[in-house]
Structure 1
Amino acid sequence: MADVPELHLVPNRCGIWSNSVVWTNLDVTSVIKQNDHIECCPVDEHLAYKMEKKALLKKRSAEETKPIPAIYDEEASAASAVPSTSGHFLLFKRVKSTMYSHRAKRYPKLPSHRRDLQIPVPFRTTKAGEDFLLWECASKHILIFSTADKIRLLAAMKTWAMDGTFKVVRQWYQQLFTIHAFAAGKLVPAVYCLCTGKDIGTYGFIFQALLNKVAVLEVNLNPQTIICDFETALIPAIQGYLPNTRVQGCYFHFCQAVHRKVGELGLKARYRTEEETRKKIIMFLAIAYLY
């Protein structure tokens, strides 16, 4: 059936439907035949190219998880690098609704309330078929995502890093808490946790879920060092569930806190203009290297 042409009526530039037609293949990637518009409203010479790119944008929107604007920007940037097509790429406002429509067909609609959330089976596993939803707690509204291989990676590595981010999560959740392993000089994400809180009980539940999983996998979690920010609830939770681990404050967060305090004390102007003030603050930041 792929060779059977499909008939498409195309609106002319005056905004009304004409009797002119274009025949394309079923994938709408090339024009097989076309009848010209009336002379006062000529056919777009780049119609085939635009239809091909529109089909590509729809395909990527349905298959990828990147934000729709990012997908469009990538394709528009690639088109702009080719002189013959640089001025003929589709405007975002012309394809935006189509792209979002194809994205919506793949992803289930979110329910009105968090308590009604049901994670579909395809989103509980990886593309390789591994279990990805490690633990789900309806009462605490915590979702923990990881794989057996990532848990084994955590067990093998002696240094971890933990951090929470807030801007990327939906309004139902307060933070995305992530656990990373330092492997071969790189920071590798291993565990993703959607949480509604950032208290000791929340972190305790996460660590207990990990300990339950490693018991099944018959490995041990015994990191020598965990690097994290200075959150008052996270540090005691680590010390309670991983008592042999040294907790090390993150230098980046330490510098952030110092500069924030400099602003609170009204020293920003002096830091920018006075060499002695700037020198003392920099020396204070260097204290971390003396440990």
Structure 2
Amino acid sequence: LNQARRLTTPTLPTSIDFDIPSKYKRTTNGERYLLTDRVQHRDGKVINRIILFATDEQLRTLFTCSHILLDGTFDSSSPHFDQIYSIHGIKNDHNFVCAIAVLGGRSGIIYKELFSILTQHARRLNLQFRPSKISSDFEPALVKTVADELPNARHVGCNFHFVKAVYRQIRQLGLTIDYRDDEAARSTARQLMALALIPVEKVEDAFEQIASEAPHSIEPLIEYFNGYWMTKPYLII
């Protein structure tokens, strides 16, 4: 099956500087699909690129949704780009994919440019890109950009990414065996992960209680959690 698919798709580009085949610029019914292809040059060479795909129908859906979701995928991105970024809109309790971007990085400058492109096309369609709620992971550059560009939106972190980040830190701190074999250590770690599920006004007191009862072996995780999740106001649990 994979061999058959490769026969119908072009070879992967050898650099970030390439032409997009015409067949990928439009949908199967002939509607424009390639929305933006912004290229940044330096000394005659392409150093960054933002490619954004969306039909006007998808954009209208996005710009009329009060709740949007932002998600980056890194493993499936081509070698010359950093991530494939999807933008979803929630309408009538259904999730709609509204735009797909191929990004050369994950800096605040790139996210700001992406939001600027969407804002420009919202104006073109006589609409506004002003979601009241945004869900995403906890990437600091994205969190700051959302706060700067969409200050009236309520930015909510994804619980899946939050729990994943804590698990990752358990491994990096060398606490995997403690988490696996020590019931008290495992219980403490899981209580930290569950803090995202209680009312915001109760989080600080609950964390202090968890920290006071935590076994000595898990203290590095407590220190990480306090420093990263409890004291950075731009990160939302």
Shorter-chain TM-score tier:
0.7 to 0.9
- Offset at residue 119 of structure 1 (A): 1.5
Q: Is 1:138 matched up with 2:46?
A: no
Deviation of the 1:107 alpha carbon = 3.6
Q: Note the 1:59-138 alignment, pairs <5 A.
A: 68-69=1-2, 96=3, 99=4, 103-104=6-7, 106-110=8-12, 112-115=14-17, 117-138=18-39
In structure 1, give the amino acid aligned to 2:191. Answer: M
Q: For the structure 1 residues 284 and 114, does the alpha-carbon distance in structure 2 shift closer, same or farther, using more than 3 Å as the test?
A: closer
Q: CA RMSD in A?
A: 1.8
Match of 2:56 among 148, 164, 175: 148
Would you tell me which structure has more helix in proportion to its own residues? 2
Q: What does residue 233 of structure 2 align with?
A: none
1:274 aligned onto 2:175: no
Unaligned runs of at least 5 residues, structure 1: 1-67, 70-95
- 1:71-116 deviation line (CA, Å, top 9, x unaligned): xxxxxxxxxxxxxxxxxxxxxxxxx5xx36xx53x4444554332x
Evaluate the alpha carbon distance shift between residue 112 and residue 257 of structure 1 in structure 2; reply closer, same or farther with a 3 A threshold: closer
Instruction: For CA contacts below 8 A with separation 6 or more, give which structure has more relative contact order.
Output: 2
Picking from 100, 106, 111, the partner of 1:192 is: 100
Unmatched segments (≥5 aa) in structure 2 = 41-47, 201-237
Please give the residue correspondences for 1:18-97 in structure 2 after superposition, counting only pairs within 5 Å: 68-69=1-2, 96=3
Give the distance between the partners of 1:260 and 1:108, measured in 2 at CA. 37
Give the whole-Å Cα distance in 2 for the aligned partners of 1:110 and 1:231.
28
SS at structure 1 position matched to 2:102? strand
Deviation at 1:128, TM superposition (A): 2.3
Match of 1:236 in 2: 144
Question: TM-score normalized by structure 1?
Answer: 0.62
Of 168, 187, 191, 2:76 maps to 168
Task: Give the structure with higher Rg (CA).
Answer: 1
Q: How many residues align?
A: 192
2 CA distance for matches of 1:221 and 1:236? 18
Runs (4+) of structure 1 moved beyond 3 Å?
106-113
